[in-house]
Amino acid sequence: MEPLIITTALTGAETTKESQPNLPITPDEQVETAIECFKAGSRVLHLHVRDDEGKPTQDLERFEEVITKLRQSVPEMIIQMSTGGAVGEPFEKRMAPLKLMPDMATLNGGTLNFGDEVFMNSPADIEKLAAYFQVVGVAPEIEVYESGMIDYVAKLVKKGLISHTPLHVQFVLGVPGGMSGKPKNMLYMAEHLQEEIPSATWGVAGIGRWELPCAVMALTMGGHIRVGFEDNIFYHKGVLAKSNAQLVERITKMANDFGRPIATPEQTREILGL
Ligand code: KMH
Ligand code: ZN
């Protein structure tokens, strides 16, 4: 079976220390978490950063500080910076981290209601960001929250606005306002992606209670898996996870039991075309 890539979304923009006391927010906490998660089998780090007050920021200096420390401490981990940021962040600020040449960065495939807010990704902004990815030569990971976003991204691929191959697409399922992580939704998303962008690879980030059901589906379907406190803070219903690494360890154990190998750093780069 295709080796499994586990991505850790360690911090995010929405999760608070109040809700999850073990949320890594300082650069040192983020580096320590990255080391633990790499050891537990994770190969990609989906990175948001926080300011000194713990608030989400797209500040370039903070990203640079973290990426520099990560490259020293865990050089084989693939760093994927967020261009999504927090809801309401100006688009220019969201684009800025690409200047730091991470291995990858996210490219969100459309606008959706995000809880009580609206996560804006206008066609003009998406196309501008897609063009910027090509200029700087960073690999995008496409974030899609419902199936229509796959159709839209496929159009950008056909127009040549997105050219990285194989294109890696993350199904983010369970955001209040987006598609949920029901098995039939996952089957549909995977089939639809295969029809529209046959060469694409995919992973799933199940939000909240959808994290584990989506992971189990992806494990058997040959997709990749994202876990971490950006998406889900619990280990079991009502029981907080002790760390991001604990969530990674569970997926690694499931994969081992199931007989699906964990991707090595080299295999991860090959699968993602890095
Ligand atoms: N924080 C969410 C509004 C991304 O990283 O590209 C968007 C997000 C997506 O987290
Ligand atoms: Zn994110």
**Segment 37-89, tens digit of pLDDT:** 999 999 999 999 999 999 999 999 999 999 999 999 999 999 999 999 999 99
Residue 33 to residue 28: CA distance in whole angstroms: 9
Model confidence at 1: pLDDT above 90: no
What mean pLDDT comes out for the span 13-28?
98
Distance 73 CA to ligand 2 centre (A): 22
Q: Point out the ligand 1 atom lying closest to the alpha carbon of residue 119.
A: 3
H-run or E-run covering 173: strand 168-173
Interhelix angle 244-258/211-221, nearest 10 degrees: 30
Nearest ligand by distance to the CA of 107:
1
CA of 143 to the centre of ligand 1 (A): 8
Q: For residue 78, what are the contacts with CB-CB under 8 A and spacing of at least 6? A: 43, 44, 45, 103, 104, 265, 268, 269, 272, 274
| Least distant ligand from the CA of 95 | 1
CA nearest ligand 1 atom 10, residue: 84
Residue identifier of the C-alpha nearest atom 6 of ligand 1:
84
Any ligand 1 atom below 6 A from CB of 106: yes
Nearest CA residue ID for atom 1, ligand 1: 86
Q: Roughly what angle, to the nearest 10 degrees, separates helices 183-196 and 148-158?
A: 20
Smallest-distance ligand from the CA of 7: 2
Alpha helix positions (H), the chain: 27-40, 60-73, 91-95, 123-136, 148-158, 183-196, 211-221, 244-258, 265-272
pLDDT tens-digit profile of 188-238? Answer: 999 999 999 999 999 999 999 999 999 999 999 999 999 999 999 999 999
Q: What is the pLDDT of residue 188?
A: 98
Task: Quote the CA–CA distance of 66 and 54 in Å, as a whole number.
Answer: 14
| Ligand 2 centroid from CA 3, angstroms | 23
For a ligand 1 pocket test, name from 15, 106, 144 the mutation site with the most ligand atoms within 8 angstroms of its C-beta: 106
Tell me the CA–centroid distance for residue 205 and ligand 1, in Å.
11
User: In DSSP terms, which residues pair with 264 in a beta bridge?
Assistant: none
Ligand 1 centroid to residue 85 C-alpha, Å: 5
Average per-residue pLDDT for the chain: 98
Mutate-to-test residue for ligand 1 from 45, 143, 229, highest number of ligand atoms within 8 A of CB: 143
* Residue pLDDT, tens place only, 99-157: 999 999 999 999 999 999 999 999 999 999 999 999 999 999 999 999 999 999 999 99
Please tell me the predicted confidence (pLDDT) of residue 215: 98
The Å distance, Cα 135 to ligand 1 centre, comes to 22
